[in-house]
Each structure stands twice: as structure tokens, then as C-alpha cells.
Amino acid sequence: MIQKKILVIDDEVDIRENIKRILTGAGYFVQTADNLRNAIKILVEQPVFDLITCDIMIPAAGGFELIDEIKSDKKYAHIPILMITGMDVEVLHATTHSADAVLMKPFSAADLLGKVKGFM
């Protein structure tokens, strides 16, 4: 079986490493980035991810900007994006950004794996 690849983007080390631990424990290959610039660099070097998880509140440029950039580039637009956020749901629904699914913080390992498995 081919190992599915996931790019995890979150500026909080503890959350990023927890997501990585959960996903690698479930058999996924996980690469991480802490900001928009590093995420784009990884995508340019390795545009073969099966899923991207992205926090909304990341430094420099936020998750919304990253989602817009990915979805507007035909090389990456096919990669599903799981937005992970603690943002108020009302505010989230008022945005026009096109993540494929949302996972609210705090979340359990089962919540995360359930969302991820929906894309695999």
C-alpha cells in the first residue's frame, strides 16, 4: 500500500507535533511547516501531497492567504485542505475562503483521524 502524504501547517509547535504524532501513528507520512513561506517552499519542492492541514492563525500571512494561494495554483488546487481553527464559527462562515473541511480546536485524535480518513 502506498503511504499517503500530509502537509501539516501550524505555528504552534505543540499542536503541530501532536497532529504529526497522531497521523504518523495512523500510518501517514507527515511533513510540517510553521508558516506560509515554509509551506510554499515545501509544496514547490514536493507537490505530491494527498492532504494539507492548515491552521488559520499563522504568522506573517495567515491560513486564509495560504488556502487562497494553493487553490488558485493549478499545480496544487487538487490537494484537499483541512482547515484547523479555534476561530469563532460565525466568523469562519462569513469568510469566502475555500477549505474543503474544517476541524475545530480543541479536537481529539479520533476527530482528526475521522476528518483525514474522509479524504483518503
Domain assignments of the chain as residue spans, ordered by start? 5-117
Which is nearest to 47 in space by CA: 17, 11, 77?
77
CATH for 5-117, options being 3.30.565.10, 3.30.420.40, 1.10.760.10, 3.40.50.2300: 3.40.50.2300
Q: What is the per-residue pLDDT for 56?
A: 76
Give the span between the Cα atoms of 48 and 64, in whole angstroms: 21
Q: What is the per-residue pLDDT for 89?
A: 59
Q: What is the per-residue pLDDT for 111?
A: 96
Task: Look at the pTM and tell me if it is higher than 0.85.
Answer: yes
Q: Which residues of the chain have pLDDT under 70?
A: 1, 57-63, 88-97
Q: What is the per-residue pLDDT for 31?
A: 97
**Which SS3 state, helix, strand or coil, does residue 75 take?**
coil
**Which cell numbers hold the place of 43?**
509544496
Q: What is the per-residue pLDDT for 94?
A: 47
Q: Which residue in the block uniquely carries the three cell numbers 493549478?
A: 74
